[in-house]
Structure 1
Amino acid sequence: MNKDINIGAVRKNCYRQSKVDGEFMLQMRVPGGVIKAEYLKMAAEIADRWGDGNFHMGTRQTLDFTGIKYEDIDEVNKYIRTYIEGTEGEAGVDMDKVAGKPEQWDPEAGYPTIGARNVTACIGNVHCICGNVNTQDVAKKVEKLVFPSNYHIKCNVSGCPNDCNKANMCDFGIIGIAKIDFHPERCIGCGKCVAVCKHGATRVLSGTPNGIPAKDDCCCTGCGECVRFCPTGAWTRNPKKFYRVIIGGRTGRQTPRAGKVFLNWASEEVVMGALANWQKFSAWALDYKPMYLHGGHLIDRAGYMKFKEMILDGVKLNPECLVAERINWSETEYRSNFSVKAPADHLTAGPGSQDSH
């Protein structure tokens, strides 16, 4: 059955086109990956009444409902009003504002925009013994800054450098790190911290003749593994929270790549200040014409130096914060006339150091 459907408008409304003509998948946001269990009752109702009885846990921690007919979208949008107002309100989002401008949100029209993408987070230190920060709290603060928006960004929050939430593979990744304080009077010289740092971290700890560990601070990732394994509490996390920010990572069939460190030992105020400039930077990079293009590509388009200038505009850095002077990516190049019989040294190298890649 052929239908005259504006796919772009439906997609902006958070419905994804299906292989079945006239059927769509609704993607409902879950800021920070955690919602109240009571909302699952609504999820079951949506799946059973309008969908095909299933829902998919989206790769960006969304609740995805397949099999929704185009003619039912208006009714579904009216039903999810409570969900949107509840989940976004709990994240501090003012649904009367779109992209920072006072425009009226129609409560019965569903999501006003698909951007930014759902802000994801691991469970963080509310549960995980490795977590350095409350990831859900951070994600909700990010949600308030980037959604709703017609400019796109993928933002992941990980509670520690284990990076279970893949902050290294998105436009703007946030990783909780810890400054570690040492209390020598508690140390018994057991060497457990040295062993765990050697086995699972960056090997910045080493033993000494008197048994007290020595530390090379230059390469500490702030993971906190020494704190976890110390039996006497000689290592403790400093109460002040710090973050590492990764930019420009992405998946995709054409130019996938891991991100690079942009900020290290940044305070929460610095991270949120940078994200508050995201829409301004995106608008400039796209000549104020919103399109479906994610943040890593915008950084490539603008060049790192311009990105750094705009994203840190007005942001007061904390004394500990380090900012990358320059970031260079090297993409893989392919020859269209490459022969499988050619020797390996015929493969061309990457383009070298360029700010815009």
Structure 2
Amino acid sequence: MNHDINIKALRNNCFRQSKVPGEFMLQLRVPGSLIDAKHLETAQHIAQTWGNGTFHLGMRQTLNIPGIKYENIPEVNKYIKDYIKEVEVDMCDVDMEVTDEGYPTIGARNVMACIGNTHCIKANINTHELARKLEKEIFPSHYHIKMSIAGCPNDCAKGHFNDFGIVGIADMVYHYDRCIGCGACVDACKDHSTGVLKKSEVDGKIEKDECCCVGCAECAIACPTSAWTRNPKKFYRVLVGGRSGKQYPRMGKTFLNWVTEDVVISVIKNWQKFSAWVLDYKPFYIHGSHLIDRAGYQKFKEMMLDGVELNPEAKVAQRIHWTETEYRSQINVKPLCEHPAAGPQD
């Protein structure tokens, strides 16, 4: 490969190095995974004009066009100017100057989301609207963050394996007079959720163990008389510290529960400040979960909740114990804080 090519600069420009010397793959951001279908023509034009005729649906819900020659990158960047403006500035209200130079950074990864309640009967929230609001808070930035938004605790968006997983949950309202005691909700909760419902031995109505309800709304979906309904007030669960990877993948844990959208946005606003503090104001690629490990959960909690006004229903984890899967050799392993190695290119 031509050693004059600055691979790191191109990576920040959202072009990924290919195994074919001199070729790169462009990643078009799709915040919240929903855009106007007309933009598929943009991907098609790039693929057929400068790429190899194919495009890949990226693992972080980006539109990836491989096979772009290095010498064609400036022309591609000029072509995607309108796309970036429409998707980032017009759709997400991101505060950025759009130029002929393409994307200014890849630091904050594309915000992923499931289809949400614009379509899915199980979803409790509009995932796309929230994703666009959060895109505004994290992009552009050289500080790394991976985030995914799920419409319900089924977590099709895999929020448990991101730096931040945001899950829409519902505060369920029971209308006693509507209940016919059929037990459909009990069966649904037992089969698909946490089994917190049971029929009363007194009157055949429904009793609920409030401690373990995850706000999935399976009861409302199953009920034939609308005896269970979602409280119109939207709530969220925020998971942190999840990651994939070769050495020590792990599933994220609950940081916040029953918080409102305002709280979620306020917390995410603090991420860059927290990242900068941990990295001594020198951004480089590193999993957000590793930053939490370096700082310790208590310091992370302190900084992420700085200036955040919690809603009355909010719950905050006082401590978190993660369980990792260890794949590294135990011979000559340095402490984690000395391992700022890059993770997978996703």
Q: How does 1:115-194 map to 2 (within 5 A)?
A: 115-194=107-186
The residue type equivalent to 2:257 in the other structure is N
Contact 2:251 2:323 in 1 (8 A): no
Which residue of the partner structure matches residue 313 of structure 1?
A: 306
The residue type equivalent to 2:291 in the other structure is L
The residue type equivalent to 2:67 in the other structure is G
Which residue of the partner structure matches residue 35 of structure 1?
A: 35
Larger mean Cα displacement after TM superposition, 325-334 or 145-154? 325-334
CA distance in 2, matches of 1:331, 1:158: 23
Give, in angstroms, the shift of residue 3 of structure 1. Answer: 4.3
Give, in angstroms, the shift of residue 292 of structure 1. Answer: 0.7
Which residue of the partner structure matches residue 347 of structure 1?
A: none
Contact 2:250 2:325 in 1 (8 A): no
Secondary structure at the counterpart of residue 239 of structure 1: coil
Per-residue CA distance 1:292-319 (angstroms, 9 max, x = gap): 1121111111110000000000000000
Give, in angstroms, the shift of residue 2 of structure 1. Answer: 3.3
Contact 1:3 1:22 in 2 (8 A): no
CA distance in 2, matches of 1:330, 1:238: 34
The residue type equivalent to 1:168 in the other structure is H
1:225 pairs with 2:218: yes
CA distance in 2, matches of 1:202, 1:72: 54
Secondary structure at the counterpart of residue 240 of structure 1: coil
Which residue of the partner structure matches residue 283 of structure 1?
A: 276
Larger mean Cα displacement after TM superposition, 167-176 or 86-95? 86-95
The residue type equivalent to 1:171 in the other structure is D
CA distance in 2, matches of 1:20, 1:119: 29
CA distance in 2, matches of 1:336, 1:42: 48
The residue type equivalent to 2:70 in the other structure is Y
CA distance in 2, matches of 1:335, 1:170: 24
Which residue of the partner structure matches residue 209 of structure 2?
A: 216
Give, in angstroms, the shift of residue 330 of structure 1. Answer: 3.5
CA distance in 1, matches of 2:96, 2:103: 9
Which residue of the partner structure matches residue 100 of structure 1?
A: none
Contact 1:177 1:223 in 2 (8 A): yes
Q: How does 1:70-85 map to 2 (within 5 A)?
A: 70-85=70-85
Give the total of aligned pairs.
329
Give, in angstroms, the shift of residue 137 of structure 1. Answer: 0.3
CA RMSD of aligned residues (A): 1.3
Which residue of the partner structure matches residue 92 of structure 2?
A: 91
Per-residue CA distance 1:325-350 (angstroms, 9 max, x = gap): 0112243556647xxxxxxxxxxxxx
1:203 pairs with 2:195: yes
The residue type equivalent to 1:295 in the other structure is G
1:323 pairs with 2:316: yes
Give, in angstroms, the shift of residue 94 of structure 1. Answer: 1.6
**TM-score, length-scaled by structure 2:** 0.93
Runs of 4 or more above 6 Å deviation? none
Per-residue CA distance 1:247-267 (angstroms, 9 max, x = gap): 000111111000000000011
Amino-acid identity (%): 62
**TM-score, length-scaled by structure 1:** 0.90
Q: Which segments of 5 or more consecutive residues in structure 1 lack a partner in the other structure? A: 97-104, 338-350, 352-357
Q: How does 1:105-120 map to 2 (within 5 A)?
A: 107-120=99-112
Give, in angstroms, the shift of residue 59 of structure 1. Answer: 0.5
Give, in angstroms, the shift of residue 147 of structure 1. Answer: 0.5
Contact 1:155 1:167 in 2 (8 A): yes
Which residue of the partner structure matches residue 47 of structure 1?
A: 47
1:254 pairs with 2:255: no
Secondary structure at the counterpart of residue 65 of structure 1: strand
The residue type equivalent to 2:254 in the other structure is V
Larger mean Cα displacement after TM superposition, 179-188 or 201-210? 201-210
Which residue of the partner structure matches residue 21 of structure 1?
A: 21
The residue type equivalent to 1:62 in the other structure is T
Give, in angstroms, the shift of residue 211 of structure 1. Answer: 1.2
CA distance in 2, matches of 1:336, 1:248: 23
